[in-house]
Structure formats: structure tokens, C-alpha cells
Amino acid sequence: MEKILPPINAISQPYWDGCQQGVLRVQRCITCGHLQLYPRIFCTQCAGEDLDWIDVSGKGTIASYTVVTRGISKAYSAPYVVSLIDLDEGPRMMSSIVDSDGTGLEVGMSVEVAFEPWSETIMMPVFKLL
Amino acid sequence: MTTLRGKVAIVGAADTEVGIVPNIGATDLCVRAALSAMRDAGINKDQIDGLITCDSMAEPIMYHAEAIAEYLQIFPRYCMSVGTGGGTTFSIMHHAASAIATGMADTILIAMADSLRSGLTREQAMLMQSSTGHPQFEQPYGPTVPAYYALIGQAHAAKYGTTAEHLASVAVACRKHAALNPTAQMREPITVEDVITSRMIANPLHLLDCSLVSDGGSAVILTSAERAKDFAQRPVYMLGVGEGHGHEHISQAQSLTTSAAVESGQRAYQMAGLTAADMDFAQLYDCFTPTVIVELEDLGFCAKGEGGPFAASGAIELGGSLPINTHGGMLSHCHPGNPGSMFALTESVFQLRGSVAPERQVKGAEVAMVHAQGGIMSSHTSLILGNEVN
Ligand SMILES: [Zn+2]
């Protein structure tokens, strides 16, 4: 059984291309500078439609986390950590914390992105404790 | 703008058997609930000119309300299915009240049922688990439904010091109420200790912090306040209603610890001209215990951050200042998915009629807050019900 793979589309392609290259990217509004994830066809702050992508540091803090002790499918070996990460640049994203079984984790801890090969074409952004 | 305050009343309410109900499918269960509610209201099906349902997961039907109307052989002039997850039940009430107030229909049947316990295939159960969450930016990380709510519980604990014992006190109160209710699925009393020593599902959520998986159906009949006087039962009036919609995906929530229940509650209180302090009891959506803590705060029953100590104080138990989930809630009465909070609605009707058994009747109950949310604290609807208009 395979893990759930993201159904990439034209709007999100640069994000997943970045992951292949080992960089985490977020969408940027050219008009007002707002950064957003997930990518959209317009800026949620100023409604502008001129958007590009910037590489971010990959550093962030844990906004929340949980240790899943009953996995969603056999492809996910429990226990595993599901977390919400506040990127230093602002946007929040869901991810995993991969070097942890949850022991000692706390909201507010610093983390850094890493990439795991999940398929031929998908490098998945995950996080490790700093 | 005309207000919906006092314009409509619930004149019929009924539940099917709940829990494990294996010998009847979700569609039939929905119809059984509908027939029981009509019987309770003392009307026949030809007096129904509006129908609202929600889809079933066990027996999905593309045009669900049309199918139920056809099954019943009724021919309404207002007919639709609504889908806002667990919030569906009460956003339906909002729509139905508006439809009656604007003359789209006179007497609306709201019927919902599902068979999550007996009717789901493994594939359907898996799909249900993984269909919440953003397909690209959340689902791949394998969050289960409890995991999403655990993220809220953990954030609340970090910000306000909410403990496992605080969360557990919600489950204990619901079970205490279920123990008094012969229709509840789980009636064996539990303690805080039982909850915090039950198996960890997704920290801070233990097994007993999670709601049940059930079969069951429930229905109500809504009509105008003027017409309501001609029905057999004491009318229960809608005094206030309000919605709040914050996000769909938890990673997009503006806050993990404060929800759009703030807005839905304020809108409902404003319409009713009442405050949290006026409520004699409350039915609060309890898919997982942290949900109740957040709702107690956001609906104004205690200060922000004080939901845990408030719950643990015993205030939320029968005999306390604000009994909640007097039927046992989804934690202990039943939780058949989207219809889950219908049972909170019918229970409120029975409480406000004064027709429940004396040992579990909220004494002198006149007004109640009934709240549900759907998604992951995403869509919120608050109802204020009362047994008098003024
Ligand atoms: Zn912008």
C-alpha cells in the first residue's frame, strides 16, 4: 500500500518542483508582497493576480502537533507525528516531524525542513527538530 | 431586514433507535425517523411541503432529498440536501426557518440518518477518514480525524494550560447524562481516571475523548409560529440563529484555539436578545472533548482559556449551572456522522417541552443554546431555542 501522494496541478507545480530541488517555496504576491500557502490563483490579501514563488529558509516553529498512534493506513507506520509548522516567513503548513516519536515535543520548538523521496516524482517536505 | 426571532417553531421531533442498528439501511432509517417525527407532530405526510436532508456515507445518494421525497411519495415545493459536515443539522435549521419566513414552504420536514457503525465498507470508512484535509497539503501526512482535533487540543493546552483531566471531565459529564438516558448507546459510568488511562489515539486525545461511531436517524418538523399553535405538541420556538464560517482546512484556520463559534454565537444571541447567562442548558458539539472546551469559551459561557477548569468544576453536569449534552452527546449517546447533532436538537425539544424523565429533566428549562460545527472547527451554527416567544 502506498502513502497518499499529492495530486499536483498547474498552480502547485512550482512548489513540488522546488521540493525535488531541495528547496521549500511559498507563493508571493508581486503587488503587495503577501506570502501564501497553499498556492492560489490570486492573492488573498490584495486580490492581485500577479504571483510568483520565493524560496524560504525552511525554518519554522511548531504551532501544534500530535502523535498518531493508529495510522490512517498500513502505509503509515504509527506512531508518527503530524504537525502544523509556522514558517519563519509567515505561512503555516501541515507536515510531519520525522526524527521524533513525539517524546519531548512542545509547541514553539524550532524545526527545519528536510525532504523525503515518496515516489519517483514526489519529494515530500517534512521537518526535523533543530 | 426582518428577523427570524420567534418566527418558526419545532412541532415534531423523534429519534430512531441508535447505536448498533444493523438490520436497516441508512435510507430506511431516515424515512423511519421522518415517519416518527410526523407521528409526534400529529400530521400526515401530505401536510409536508418542504424537505431537507443530508446525504448518507453508508448509502450515498446523489440527490438525497429528492430520493427521500420520492420514497415517501411526497411532492414538496422546497427540497434540498445540505452538506456542511457536523454543522449540517443546524445550518439546515437556519435555511428552513428562512424558507418558512419567506413563504417558500409552510411545514418543513428535516430528516437525517446514517449507518456508520453497521453500513460502511472498509473502503468507505477509509475514504471518510482521509476525505477531510487538503488533498495536496494535508492528506499526504496521514492525519486521521482525531489527529486534526488533537492539533486543536494540543494548541489549547499549550496556550491555556488545559489538561488531560480537564478534557476528560467533558467525557465524564456526557457519560453521566447518558447513564440516565435509556436510549443512549454507552451508559456505563466512567471516571476521569478511566478516560486518561484509556488508549491514546492522538495525544492529547484518549479513546474516551473521542465520540462514538453509530447508526441512527432523527427528524424534526418545523412550521411557522402561528401554525405551531394548531399542533398537538407544545411548540419549541427558534429565538436566535447565527452562523460563522472560518476555514475548511485546519492549516488555514485563523486561530487554532478560537473558532467561528464566536461569530455564530454572537449572531444568535443578538437575534434572540439574550446572553450566555440566560441559557438554562446547552448542547455543544462533542465529536472530541477539546471541541466542547473551545465552544464553552467561544459561546461566552466562561472566559477565554477557562473552558478546562469550567468543565472540570461540574458546571456542565445536570444540576450544575450549565448542563450540557443532557442526552449524553455524541461522546456517549450516539454519533452517526453528519446527523450527529440532530439528537442534541430533539433532546432540546424534549427538555423544553418538559417531557423527559424527571431524573434527567433540567428544572425550569426555558431557553437553550444548541451549537454544532462541521469540518475541523470550520462551519459553525448556533441556535437559541425557547418554549415561549417572549
Ligand atoms: Zn497581494
pLDDT digits (tens, 9 = 90+) for B163-213: 999 999 999 999 999 999 999 999 999 999 999 999 999 999 999 999 999
Best probe of the A interface among B134, B137, B156, B205, by most A CBs < 10 A, is: B137
| Helices B261-272, B289-298: crossing angle, 10 deg rounding | 50
CA atoms within 13 A on the CB side of B169: 17
Q: How far apart are CA B276 and CA B95, in angstroms?
A: 23
Residues A49, A103: one domain?
Answer: no
* Residue among B117, B45, B102, B121 at smallest CA distance from B76: B45
Judging contacts by C-beta atoms under 8 Å, the chain A residues touching residue B255 are none
Total beta-carbon pairs less than 8 A apart between chain A and chain B: 106
Q: What is the CATH number of the domain that holds A76?
A: 2.40.50.840
**Do A46 and A72 lie in a common domain?**
no
Mark whether A69 and A118 lie in a shared domain: yes
Please give the pLDDT value at position A71.
86
Q: Shortest CB distance from B251 goes to which of A5, A72, A92?
A: A92
> CA-to-CA distance for B45 and B364, rounded, in angstroms?
33
Q: What is the nearest CA distance from B164 to chain A, expressed in angstroms?
A: 14
Helix axes B145-160, B289-298, angle to 10 degrees: 50
pLDDT of residue A2: 86
Ligand 1 centroid, distance to A47 Cα (angstroms):
6
Residue A3 lies in a domain: no
Closest CA to B287 of B95, B118, B88, B119: B88
Q: For B7-77, where are the alpha helices, taking DSSP H only?
A: 26-41, 64-72
If DSSP codes are grouped into helix, strand and coil, which group holds residue B303? coil
Enumerate the residues of chain A whose CB falls inside 8 A of the CB of residue B205: 66
Provide the percentage of residues in chain B whose pLDDT is more than 90. 92
A23-32, A57-66, B79-88: lowest mean pLDDT where?
Answer: B79-88
- Structural domain total, chain A: 2
**Same-domain status, A21 and A42:** yes
Same domain, A52 and A92: no
Does the beta-carbon distance from B203 to A102 stay under 8 Å?
Answer: yes
What is the ipTM metric for this complex? 0.98
Angle at B225 between CA B265 and CA B72, to 5 degrees: 95
Q: What is the mean pLDDT of residues A60-72?
A: 94
Measured in angstroms, the CA of B132 and the nearest CA of chain A are apart by 12
Same domain, A25 and A68: no
Q: Are residues A44 and A68 in the same domain?
A: no
CB contact under 8 A, B201 and A69: yes
Q: What nine digits make up the cell of B81?
A: 440536501
Q: Using a CB-CB distance cutoff of 8 angstroms, which residues of chain B are in contact with residue A82?
A: 141-143, 147, 151, 202
Phi and psi of B381, rounded to 5°?
A: -135, 130
Of B142, B252, B256, the CB nearest to A64: B256
Chain B CB contacts of A4 under 8 Å are 130, 139-140, 142
Q: What is the C-alpha separation between B280 and B273, in angstroms, rounded? A: 15
Does A27 fall in a domain? yes
Task: Mark whether A87 and A115 lie in a shared domain.
Answer: yes
Determine the residue of chain B that is closest to A69 in CA distance.
B201
Question: Taking residues A7-19, what's their average pLDDT?
Answer: 97
Return the DSSP state at B145: H
Q: pTM for the whole thing?
A: 0.96
Window A:51-80, CB contacts with B under 8 Å: 63-73, 75-76, 80
C-alpha B304/C-alpha B370 separation (Å) is 19
Q: Where are the beta strands (DSSP E) in chain A?
A: 25-29, 35-36, 51-55, 59-68, 80-87, 92-96, 110-117, 123-129
- Per CB-CB distance under 8 Å, the chain A contacts of B250 are 84, 94
B189 touches chain A (CB under 8 A): no
Structural domains in chain B, CATH included, are 1-390 (3.40.47.10)
Residues A47 and A90 in one domain: no
Print the domain residue range for A102: 57-130
Q: How far is A31 from chain B (nearest CA, A)?
A: 22
Is the pLDDT at A127 greater than 80? The verdict is yes
Asked whether residue A102 is domain-assigned, the answer is yes
Q: Give residue A85's pLDDT.
A: 98
Helix (H, G, I), strand (E, B) or coil at B328: coil
Burial profile B273-284: b = 16 or more Cβ within 10 angstroms, e = fewer: ebeeebbbbbbb
pLDDT at B156 exceeding the cut of 70? yes
Question: CB of B155 within 8 Å of any CB in chain A?
Answer: yes
The C-alpha cell that represents B215 in the structure block: 447508526
B140 part of contact set with chain A, CB < 8 Å: yes
Q: Please check whether residues A20 and A84 belong to one and the same domain.
A: no
Q: What span, in angstroms and rounded, lies between the C-alpha atoms of A24 and B194?
A: 44
Please give the distance, rounded to the nearest whole angstrom, from the Cα atom of residue B255 to the centre of ligand 1: 21
Q: Is residue A2 part of a domain?
A: no
User: Is residue A1 pLDDT above 90, yes or no?
Assistant: no
Smallest Cα distance from B129 to chain A, Å: 7
Mean pLDDT of chain B: 95
Measure CA of the first residue to CA of the last residue in chain B; give whole Å.
20
Question: Do A52 and A66 have their domain in common?
Answer: no
Cell of residue B347, nine digits: 433532546
Same domain, A41 and A98: no
Rounded mean pLDDT, B44-60: 94
Q: What is the largest CA-CA distance in chain A?
A: 45
Instruction: Determine the 3-state secondary structure of A74 from DSSP.
Output: coil
CA distance, residue B262 to nearest chain A CA (Å)? 22
d(CA A47, CA B97) in angstroms, rounded, equals 35
Checking if the pLDDT of B228 tops 80, the result is yes
Among B123, B126, B134, B251, most A C-beta atoms within 10 A, so best to mutate, is: B251
